[in-house]
Amino acid sequence: MIVPLSQPDITQLEIDAVLSVLNGTQLSLGPKMEEFEQRVATYIGVPYAIAVSSGTAGLHLSLLSLGIGSGHEVIVPSFTFIAAANAVRHAGAAPVFIDIDRGTLNLDPALIEAAIMPRTRAIMAVHTFGYPAAMSEILCIARKHGLRVIEDACEAIGAECEGQKVGSFGDAAVFGFYPNKQITTGEGGIVVTRDGGLARTVKALRNQGRYPSDQWHQHSVLGYNYRLSEMNCALGCAQMMRIDEILAKREQAASLYDDALKAIPGVELPTRLAGNDKISWFVYVIRLLENSDRRDAIVAALQERGIQCGRYFAPIHQQPAYAGWDMRHPLPVTERESRRTIALPFFSNISREQIDCVADALGSVLQP
């Protein structure tokens, strides 16, 4: 049996929604974009949402709209998708990497203050794998030092920190909707915020620097083509109508994995959260207890058996694009944990049979 790493959850509702746009006359900057933005804003609990072409674009525009650019520094984790640090560099600023908490694999708040320097302007709090970052502690530090907070929630729609939806804490937050995410628009992202001025700037920057009050072909600021089409937004509207169902299916899949893998020696299951914190299951990532030097060989062996899996995440500071980067702070947890993580096949409609197949293959590969 071949088990894919990820798979979007698309029903006839989504197909009909996209077809309805194609049967119309407006394919960009239309009513479906406005509907999608409103649905996401309402779900997160903030007044403003601005749809953009990708999560990466959303991070880029959030940084620019907060006035972060050349000569500035932004604190980010290295254990995350490379887009987080790339967006900082695209804005002209420099990412400063600090280490992570071993349990959640998010930024370790205890290490933030030591990384704050005169040029520090913001903290990028990534909700890695759908685990909420420690937002109360991060916000307390940010306020103390006059820093902005951007939530990279691209993997975390529906996650909650102390009973509050992630994305509603920072100056701005970004969700991503690539096909492997909890919900998808095919390609796309969205910026959410409580700041009306920031929302207005992001809206202008995504559309070639044109404010809604500008005349056609009047461009007030240097902008970008970061628009999201009506087809993408129609797909997103349909997915948002089903988001509770989709997240519940992913929670059930994670529980099935826990049951299937708990008896396999040498495997550490994903951390479970207590209290009012809530995971939004983006991926199901196990960690090897020992022999992490065998991780890549184990991944290859699983793939040979038809089990698609991956290294989530290879640290950013170890990527060729960051060779020679100024590393001010040691990252022992990042480097240790990244060597022993394996993302197993995970998606909304994964079956018990597929999960059992993955568990059988993993148990076989891990045998001495």
- Given a cut of 80, whether residue 180 has pLDDT beyond it is yes
Dihedral sign computed on CA atoms, order 126, 334, 140, 281 = positive
**Whether residue 181 lies in the annotated active site:** yes
- Given a cut of 90, whether residue 190 has pLDDT beyond it is yes
Q: Which residue has the tokens 């995350």?
A: 80
The burial of 70, by beta-carbon neighbours within 10 Å (0-12 exposed, 13-18 middle, 19 or more buried), is given as exposed
As a whole number, the mean pLDDT across the chain is 97
Cβ-Cβ contacts under 8 Å for 123 (sequence gap 6 or more): 74, 75, 107, 112, 138, 141, 142, 147, 148, 149, 150
3-state secondary structure of 167: coil
As a whole number, mean pLDDT of residues 166-195 equals: 98
Whole-number Å distance between alpha carbons of 226 and 62: 12
Beta partners for residue 229, in sequence order: 28
Whole-number Å distance between alpha carbons of 52 and 13: 23
Enumerate helices (H) and strands (E) in the chain, giving the number of each: 12, 12
Report field, pTM of the whole predicted structure over 0.85:
yes
Q: From the candidates 165, 181, 249, 278, which is the catalytic residue?
A: 181
Pair 193, 171: CB distance under 8 Å: yes
Q: Model confidence over 226-271: pLDDT tens digits?
A: 999 999 999 999 999 999 999 999 999 999 999 999 999 999 999 9
Beta partners for residue 100, in sequence order: 107
Query: Hey, where are the domains in the chain?
Result: 12-241, 243-366
Q: Model confidence over 77-103: pLDDT tens digits?
A: 999 999 999 999 999 999 999 999 999
- Given a cut of 80, whether residue 290 has pLDDT beyond it is no
Q: What is the dihedral of CA 211, 214, 216, 221, to 10 degrees?
A: -50
- Given a cut of 70, whether residue 134 has pLDDT beyond it is yes
Tell me which residue of 319, 317, 308 sits closest to 284, measured CA to CA.
308
- Given a cut of 90, whether residue 274 has pLDDT beyond it is no
**Homologous superfamily (CATH) for 243-366:** Aspartate Aminotransferase, domain 1 (3.90.1150.10)
According to the model, what pLDDT value does residue 291 have?
66
CATH for the 12-241 domain, from 3.30.360.10, 3.40.640.10, 3.40.50.720, 1.10.150.110: 3.40.640.10
